[in-house]
Structure 1
């Protein structure tokens, strides 16, 4: 079952909103500042565009989690600094690596839980659509015959006279008789 444009837009909007909100909250709670409005808008636009391209059909939990993790990494880089330096440059140099591993694990855990939550919503949405659409498709009326009926088929039969040499032969068809 493929998703038409209104359904694709709704699913994409939910995915983009969850993805950018999660990245902004995780960045703010994890010790960074809140992202600039232009960065959040750019993140929503980018995630929305990529998710719209992938949203044509139902996706598995693994696919949703991979897309969410990749989007979170990209958004975290975008939200990392206002001076153009990304998250890796601003956070990994100058401070110990131990603090960053804890923050990375916290972000990854939150992302995977959110991905699982989105995947369950995706499965519920598609199950509901299957239950609603299939009965409608099965009850769909059969197409009416066209206004111009097809011309009748003309069959010409030629009678072949039997061969006079085979006039006295007997044709017995069927299985042999039991002995």
Structure 2
């Protein structure tokens, strides 16, 4: 199920959340406030990446990888505007382990949160979309994409599994048999 009507709002949510979390993390880590022009540039970059990737519902691996990538991109962008602190720069001039770990943890949490929100959105569209006239356009399939063919499973061909592989486990099930003393 694809929808082009949801691409822009989903990309806006992704970009906004990534920039707010990254800029807030930099400010809390002692990097200072991010200049507005860098925040807008970061939001545009994150928006473009999200818009390119969100043509349809994505799994957790894509959402998490994209969020981690966006956090790295935003960290590099914001790093030039922030004064060095003990969290941001190690003795060799590279990002310190505290900043790297913070970005990874925040990116994983944010990515998981975004994935769960996307899953909930698509579930609501699938469940209620056919009944609500305002949601029906979101379910429209773009030209050139064929929806999957749904075929019911015949009831006569279904039987419970009880093969020879589980028979020893079934025989040993329950409390041990009582032993006679004597």
TM-score (norm 2): 0.64
Q: Retained in 1: the 8 A contact 2:72–2:103?
A: no
* Pairwise CA distance, 1:135: 5.3
* Pairwise CA distance, 1:82: 3.1
Match of 2:112 in 1: 116
Q: Retained in 2: the 8 A contact 1:3–1:55?
A: no
Between the aligned partners of 1:101 and 1:136, the Cα distance in structure 2 is 50
Residue 20 of structure 2 aligns to a residue whose secondary structure is helix
- RMSD of aligned Cα (Å): 2.9
* Pairwise CA distance, 1:91: 2.3
TM-score (norm 1): 0.65
Structure 1 ranges of 4+ moved more than 4 A: 134-137
Residue 96 of structure 2 aligns to a residue whose secondary structure is helix
Match of 1:59 in 2: 58
In 2 relative to 1, CA 35–136 (structure 1 residues): closer, same or farther, beyond 3 Å?
Answer: closer
Larger RCO (CA under 8 A, 6+ residues apart): 2
Aligned residues: 132
Can you give the 5+ residue segments of structure 1 that lack an aligned partner in the other structure? Answer: 141-179
* Pairwise CA distance, 1:111: 1.3
Q: Find the structure with the greater CA-based Rg.
A: 1
Can you give the 5+ residue segments of structure 2 that lack an aligned partner in the other structure? Answer: 137-182
* Pairwise CA distance, 1:56: 0.6
Residue 97 of structure 2 aligns to a residue whose secondary structure is helix
Per-residue deviation, residues 157-177 of structure 1 (Å, max 9, x unmatched): xxxxxxxxxxxxxxxxxxxxx
